[in-house]
A and B are shown apart, each in its own frame.
Chain A
């Protein structure tokens, strides 16, 4: 059931969200240039009405039609909606949201009916005229009939909302909206319902309180502040960053995990929002246009002239009340986030929990613009710093491309993600996380990817069906930086896998590296370990080479910590030479320290060559 609601909501907001920028443009023009604006200018103010009546609904209709039937659907959606727009007095947002998909559906059916039946050379003719004629008919129907129906519906809905507002009951909206929010239905609710209704209001009275129901960062901020002050350890660690993102970035998804971890916090959010809305009701505060994202900055920008301070106060009120309510809850169990963050995660084996070559990672959230963008940017930076070249993008759950190798999303959305992947014939593996910025699952993914750098090379070479013998003893692909600690067997195996992947040795040699370690430790002191194969396995060496694994936190070698694990393979006597060369280079403590901490692969190559 939740899925269906999410889907429906998603469809609604998919019509509106891509056009938010246009709404903001309109909102800014309105806020600045109308009579009661910041800088009245009756010439520029002429833009307000036509934009509201024509531009915005047409954009929605175009987007809606496009979502159904591609560009063609978009065009006919716009054409058809012209009918209802002209045929009614009020701005036809709802109408566009109906006509757009309807028109798209019509043209889609038509196209399917004539598929394959069109004579050669007549395709373009049929395409253009079918759209033209059907569009015309829909526009006329819209003008004559649908316009009236929708007008009536919208007026009924507006009347309902107005009633609530008049009776000062609008704070009750929070009871519906906020639970929807934490279940990731906020985009659906906000853009699918509030925004269109809000715009109607704005055209009547110049502002709408509806624009403050969902986008107010206050209530969520209160929770985050309480976590910061009263939380412990993990809870407290992630709070400051989240505060900034919530208040200024306006990405509210950042506080959902906290509420989901401790559902009673929802009461604090609702309480905060109710009070904020009461405040707005009392002082007649609203916004001129949707504040998207729900950031303090957008709210300031979208406040009507003379009410900016009041709008800010509405945020403050929401924050304060939510903070007061959530503090005792958090104080009672300050470690609740530990349940969220520290679910026992198995250390990935070097054979890889995620199989295959990973070239594209997709972060997904409901709308594809806020939290997923945040997660993607953070992770992309992390990979870049480790020198791993993997594409990281963000999309809405419904837009996951078929060539995604890994999809990262929050647990609530993972079923939808899986469905989407299946429906586009994809092969992506889903990684569930709780927190887009800092999460154990993301850390594990990161370690996987670092290990896979070498096995990735292996898979590609297997595809080419010929392993080229490497020319250089040390190459960039043979260096892996910033690895997280793992048991020494895993580290040795990782080194072995790298040597195999790069073509220096056969699997036999890699196996013997573990054998050799059992005979006598390869830990040399000074934080350096040099695993290599047994003399029996020497035949398995195809070409002399080394791989360098950097573990800033060290790998335990029987009580000693190795920060550098250098896997060695030497043909014949060159084994000794390589050993000697490395030993010589690293005998200097400063040089050793450099290699253990650097982010620059080239530096390591230069030192060891």
Chain B
């Protein structure tokens, strides 16, 4: 399992639209498995409800984790996506 931390700069946090796009992307990155961790909670990044349940606000620090085939590629893409949110 490899991971990387990223700060969510998006002014409105991770709301439904970006969350939807993120989940879609993660599903496309299979067979890699991606997780998101914020604080003490870790969730499967491929489940919309789980991602939303994190309630990621603007400025949150998120640790993205990935494992399995393609893990490095998946990790890079997800981190890039989150960092680019405004």
Which residues of A are at the interface with B, using a C-beta cutoff of 8 A?
Answer: 519-522, 524-526, 528, 530, 532, 535, 573, 575-577, 579-584, 586-587
Flag if A522 contacts B16 (CB, 8 Å).
Answer: yes
Which one of B12, B13, B21, B52 contacts A583 once the chains associate, using CB atoms below 8 Å? B52
Which residues of B are at the interface with A, using a C-beta cutoff of 8 A?
Answer: 12-17, 20-21, 47-57
With A and B bound together, what is the CA distance between A530 and B20 in angstroms?
12
Chain A residue, CB-CB nearest to B43: A587
With A and B bound together, what is the CA distance between A587 and B12 in angstroms?
23
Q: Which B residues touch A526, using CB under 8 A? A: 48-49
Flag if A576 contacts B15 (CB, 8 Å).
Answer: yes
Q: Which A residues touch B54, using CB under 8 A? A: 580
Show 15 residue pairs from A and B whose CB-CB distance is below 8 angstroms, ordered by the A residue: A520-B20, A521-B20, A522-B16, A528-B49, A573-B57, A576-B14, A576-B55, A576-B56, A579-B16, A580-B54, A582-B52, A583-B49, A583-B52, A583-B53, A587-B47
Which one of B15, B49, B55 contacts A525 once the chains associate, using CB atoms below 8 Å? B49
Contacts A530-B16, A573-B13 known; 18 new A-B pairs at CB < 8 A: A519-B17, A525-B49, A526-B49, A528-B49, A535-B12, A575-B12, A575-B15, A576-B56, A579-B15, A579-B16, A580-B52, A581-B55, A583-B48, A583-B49, A583-B53, A584-B49, A584-B53, A587-B53
Flag if A577 contacts B55 (CB, 8 Å).
Answer: yes
A210 → B minimal CB distance (Å) = 71
Which one of B12, B20, B47 contacts A576 once the chains associate, using CB atoms below 8 Å? B12
Q: Which B residues touch A587, using CB under 8 A? A: 47, 49-50, 53
Q: Which B residues touch A535, using CB under 8 A? A: 12
Given A520-B17, A535-B12, A573-B13; A579-B48 close (CB under 8 Å): no
Flag if B17 contacts A583 (CB, 8 Å).
Answer: no
A571 → B minimal CB distance (Å) = 13
Q: Which B residues touch A532, using CB under 8 A? A: 16
B71 → A minimal CB distance (Å) = 24
Chain B residue, CB-CB nearest to A575: B15
Which one of A521, A524, A575, A576 contacts B49 once the chains associate, using CB atoms below 8 Å? A524
Given A573-B57, A587-B47; A579-B17 close (CB under 8 Å): no
Top 9 A-B pairs ranked by shortest CB distance? A580-B55, A583-B52, A583-B53, A584-B53, A583-B49, A524-B48, A576-B13, A520-B17, A587-B49
With A and B bound together, what is the CA distance between A576 and B14 in angstroms?
8
Chain A residue, CB-CB nearest to B17: A520
Most buried by A among B14, B51, B52: B52
Q: Which B residues touch A519, using CB under 8 A? A: 17
Which one of A520, A525, A577 contacts B48 once the chains associate, using CB atoms below 8 Å? A525
B51 → A minimal CB distance (Å) = 8
Chain B residue, CB-CB nearest to A588: B49
With A and B bound together, what is the CA distance between A534 and B50 in angstroms?
22
A567 → B minimal CB distance (Å) = 13
With A and B bound together, what is the CA distance between A580 and B17 in angstroms?
13
Chain B residue, CB-CB nearest to A534: B17
Chain B residue, CB-CB nearest to A580: B55
B85 → A minimal CB distance (Å) = 13
With A and B bound together, what is the CA distance between A439 and B8 in angstroms?
55
B23 → A minimal CB distance (Å) = 8
Chain B residue, CB-CB nearest to A568: B16
With A and B bound together, what is the CA distance between A521 and B48 in angstroms?
13
Q: Which A residues touch B49, using CB under 8 A? A: 524-526, 528, 583-584, 586-587
Chain B residue, CB-CB nearest to A519: B17
B28 → A minimal CB distance (Å) = 15
Q: Which B residues touch A576, using CB under 8 A? A: 12-15, 55-57
A315 → B minimal CB distance (Å) = 61
Chain B residue, CB-CB nearest to A582: B52
With A and B bound together, what is the CA distance between A519 and B20 in angstroms?
12
Most buried by B among A519, A524, A528, A582: A524
Chain A residue, CB-CB nearest to B56: A576
With A and B bound together, what is the CA distance between A117 and B44 in angstroms?
89
Most buried by B among A522, A579, A581: A579
With A and B bound together, what is the CA distance between A577 and B54 in angstroms?
9
Q: Which B residues touch A575, using CB under 8 A? A: 12, 15
With A and B bound together, what is the CA distance between A517 and B12 in angstroms?
18
With A and B bound together, what is the CA distance between A520 and B23 in angstroms?
13
Q: Which A residues touch B55, using CB under 8 A? A: 576-577, 579-581
B56 → A minimal CB distance (Å) = 7
B45 → A minimal CB distance (Å) = 13
Chain B residue, CB-CB nearest to A573: B57
Q: Which A residues touch B53, using CB under 8 A? A: 580-581, 583-584, 587
Most buried by A among B48, B50, B51, B54: B48
Flag if A524 contacts B52 (CB, 8 Å).
Answer: yes
A56 → B minimal CB distance (Å) = 72
Q: Which A residues touch B52, using CB under 8 A? A: 524, 579-580, 582-583
With A and B bound together, what is the CA distance between A580 and B16 in angstroms?
10
Q: Which A residues touch B14, using CB under 8 A? A: 576
B18 → A minimal CB distance (Å) = 9
A389 → B minimal CB distance (Å) = 33
Which one of A530, A573, A583 contacts B50 once the chains associate, using CB atoms below 8 Å? A583
With A and B bound together, what is the CA distance between A535 and B15 in angstroms?
11
B16 → A minimal CB distance (Å) = 6
With A and B bound together, what is the CA distance between A521 and B20 in angstroms?
9
Q: Which B residues touch A530, using CB under 8 A? A: 16
With A and B bound together, what is the CA distance between A582 and B16 in angstroms?
12
Q: Which A residues touch B20, using CB under 8 A? A: 520-521, 524
